[in-house]
Amino acid sequence: MKVVKILEMGREMLKLLSENEVRIGDWKYVKMYEEYQRMRENGLKYRAVIAELALCYSMSRSKVERIIQRLGRDVK
């Protein structure tokens, strides 16, 4: 399959992602964001959740914070 065919198939979704400045690679972090929401709903403090996720996903706390902020923002 050619790249152009893939682009044609997902044209509308790609347009929506582009207009809202969504990084297409962020699909990898959806599960992490869902875990974040669940932990916060269970009453855990923000810093504790970030520290736990950083440990679980083997990344820095600052990277986890950036990802959580990015995925949690409202779009147009």
User: Over the stretch 13-46, which tens digit does the pLDDT of each residue have?
Assistant: 999 999 999 999 999 999 999 999 999 999 999 9
Residue 75's pLDDT is: 85
Whether the per-residue pLDDT at 76 is higher than 80: the answer is no
Residue 43, CA distances (Å) to 7, 27, 28, 39, 47 in order: 42, 26, 25, 7, 12
Cβ–Cβ under 8 Å, residues 14 and 7: yes
pLDDT more than 90, % of the chain: 93
Which amino acid belongs to residue 31? K
Axis crossing angle, helix 61-72 with helix 46-56, rounded to the nearest 10:
110
Q: Is the pLDDT of residue 8 over 90?
A: yes
Residues 30 and 68: their CA atoms lie apart, in Å, by: 9
> Which tokens sit at 69?
């902020």
pLDDT at position 11: 94
